[in-house]
Amino acid sequence: MDLLLLVIGAIFVNNVLLAQYLGNCPFCGVSKKLDTAAGMGLAVIFVAVLASVLTWVAHYFVLVPLDLEYLQTLVFVLLIAALVQLVEIFLKKKSQALYRSLGIYLPLITTNCAVLGIALLNIKHELDFATMLIYATSSAAGFALAIVLFAGVRERLLLSPVPPAMRGTAIALVTAGVMSLAFLGFAGMVE
């Protein structure tokens, strides 16, 4: 039951994008079309889960025993950058189909704060390995859900008469605000 609450909490209540404000640059940048948004969402789930495992292991088996917790930021960001590079090379060699759908989003993910944010939150909440895995997966799934829903709204927005000054990012942010308001409605479900 606790785990179910954790999943619902991470996807809806504390949505990475709309409640914790992580990963907003790709949120505005690649949410103009539904299929690119879905690709970005999948790539983030993939990398965020791998990165969470890697950084969790690095934190508890390397940094803590050596008393180097203050290097957390540096180590995590380097691990994520290296991981993204590796994943890219691996996908290129092994799975052309997956590379073609995820490949172009991978370099962008290095500077996606959602990935580093989830990795840091895992440590901050002092989660054990299994809980961390579930938390990271559902947080990343929450990101994917939000960006796909948002892309759907933005495709409609193209057909509406928006005042010239509000076109582009301005109206996108206001729309995100309305979506965030909708997600705020979930707040009563979980503590």
Q: How far is the CB of 51 from other proteins (least distance, A)?
A: 12
The C-alpha atoms of residue 142 and residue 117 are separated, in whole angstroms, by: 13
User: What are 51's two structure tokens?
Assistant: 């990165």
Q: Given the rule CB under 8 A, which residues bind other proteins?
A: 18-25, 27-28, 70-74, 76-78, 81, 110-113, 116-117, 120-121, 124, 163-178, 180-181, 183-184
Q: Which is nearer to other proteins, 60 or 95 (CB)?
A: 60
Amino acid at 88: E
Q: Which is nearer to other proteins, 3 or 173 (CB)?
A: 173
- The answer to whether 86 and 21 have CB atoms below 8 angstroms apart is no
Q: How far is the CB of 18 from other proteins (least distance, A)?
A: 6
Q: Which is nearer to other proteins, 130 or 165 (CB)?
A: 165
The C-alpha atoms of residue 68 and residue 155 are separated, in whole angstroms, by: 47
Q: Where are the alpha helices (DSSP H) in the chain?
A: 2-8, 24-29, 34-58, 72-94, 96-102, 106-109, 113-124, 129-157, 169-184
Q: How far is the CB of 154 from other proteins (least distance, A)?
A: 12
Q: How far is the CB of 1 from other proteins (least distance, A)?
A: 27
User: What are 20's two structure tokens?
Assistant: 């914790």
Q: Which is nearer to other proteins, 3 or 89 (CB)?
A: 89
- Give the chain's end-to-end CA distance (angstroms, integer): 13
Q: Running DSSP on this structure, what letter comes out for residue 61?
A: I
HSE-up of 172 (CA within 13 Å, CB side)? 21
Q: How far is the CB of 119 from other proteins (least distance, A)?
A: 10
Q: Which is nearer to other proteins, 73 or 95 (CB)?
A: 73
